[in-house]
Structure 1
Amino acid sequence: MDWYQIVLETIDMRSFSNLWFWIALAVTWSSASHWVIGVPFDMVGRARRHGGQAARDLEDVVRINVNRLLYIAEETGLWAVAIGSALLSALAVSGFVYRIELSQALFLLAFPMSLVGLLSVATAARIRGEALYGPDLWKKLSSHRFWIQVIGMLSIFVTALWGMFQNMSYTALGG
């Protein structure tokens, strides 16, 4: 038995039984709920507690990120949606029709994150449209974070169920 065979038997290279996939899933959702519209959420807590300069800093960072996000959406929105939809469709078809496990895993990561992206653009537009600042801005960012966490929990739940199903099916088939 050669070294490569030993490594492949020791480390399962399939997506849903690979520890690195689950670490990537956890890091993805942890980062998504921490960086709300590109703003670290701890700034919202600091602005609530201290006000003053912390609140002004938060409003400046939010303004910069909202303008940046909406500029990108306005300039590349149609292309981003078209290319993103094509990639998600390719992952869905190759994963769930042709049963390529890596495509399934990538789809289960990318699809919910695309929802977070759309939600972020909508929230950014609302922040700019309503000229939110102070407690109204903090409330909007907290609400946005809550919905990101809801999407994340549902995504992790569905991914865990699908991953367990895949692993049990693989084991039942004698893999």
Structure 2
Amino acid sequence: MSLYQTIFELIDMRSFSNLWFWIMLCVEWWMVSHWVLGVPFDVILRARRSGGKAQAELEDFARVNVNRLLFITHMSGPWIVAFAMCLLTALAATGFWYRVEFAQAVFCLLFPLALTGLLSVRAAHRIADGAHQGEALQACLIKLRFAVQAVGLASILFTAIWGMYQNMTMSVLR
């Protein structure tokens, strides 16, 4: 077996039957739900439990990440949205209209991330407008984490059902 064949079998283009796709999906949602607005969830829990220095650390984390996200959003937000919509539209058309499984898999990975990005920008605006200290900040970040986990749960459920459907359909066609 040549090196090319080995690499191609390792990175299979039939995504929903590939273990690497499912590992990537799990890692993606673990990372997205752990880092809420760039703040690790353990920092939020530590601030909630002990306050004081941990709360100041949480406020610093949140201030830096919120300011960074809002700066990026205000400077190039329309361009980012336009590019993301073009990419997602191209992936959806290629994947679901032309039935390219790799495009379907990438769409299943990226579309929910776009939704969580919108939720994060919305929460960043809310934090910048006043919920940037104490329990209000903690509540906002915990609420955002819950929303992100809900999107992640729906995404994993849809991807699993769609992936099983694809694998069963492909096994019938062979």
The residue number in structure 1 matching 2:18 is 18
Q: How far apart in 1 are the matches of 2:9 and 2:132?
A: 54
Q: How many residues align?
A: 173
Q: Report the alpha carbon displacement of residue 65 of structure 1 after superposing the two structures with TM.
A: 0.4
1:173 and 1:132, CA in 2 relative to 1: closer, same or farther beyond 3 A?
same
Q: CA deviation at 1:90?
A: 0.4
Sequence identity, in percent?
51
What is the CA-CA distance between 1:3 and the residue it aligns to? 4.7
Compute the RMSD of aligned alpha carbons. Answer: 1.8
- TM-score, length-scaled by structure 1: 0.94
Task: Please say if residues 35 and 41 of structure 2, whose CA atoms lie closer than 8 Å, have aligned partners that are also in contact.
Answer: yes
Residues 99-140 of structure 1 deviation map (CA, whole Å, 9 limit, x = unaligned): 111100000110000000010000000001124311111011
Distance of 1:109 and 1:157 partners within structure 2: 12
Worse-matched range after superposition: 109-118 or 12-21: 12-21
Query: Which residues of structure 1 form unaligned runs of 5+?
Result: none
Q: Does the 8 Å contact 2:59/2:133 carry over to 1? A: yes
Change (3 A) 1:12 1:72: closer
Name the residue aligned to 1:157: 157
Measure the CA separation in 2 of the matches of 1:131 and 1:167.
Answer: 46
C-alpha separation in 2, matches of 1:10 and 1:74: 43
**Structure 1 residue ranges (4+ consecutive) displaced by more than 3 angstroms after TM superposition:** 2-12
Q: Does 1:109 align with 2:106?
A: no
Matches of 2:64 and 2:5, distance apart in 1: 52
The structure-2 alpha-carbon separation of the partners of 1:55 and 1:22, relative to structure 1 and needing over 3 Å to count, comes to same
- Which letter maps to 2:93? V
**Structure 2, unaligned runs of 5 or more:** none
- Give the whole-Å Cα distance in 2 for the aligned partners of 1:68 and 1:7: 42
CA gap of 1:9–1:35, structure 2 versus 1, over 3 A, is closer
SS state of the match for residue 16, structure 1? helix
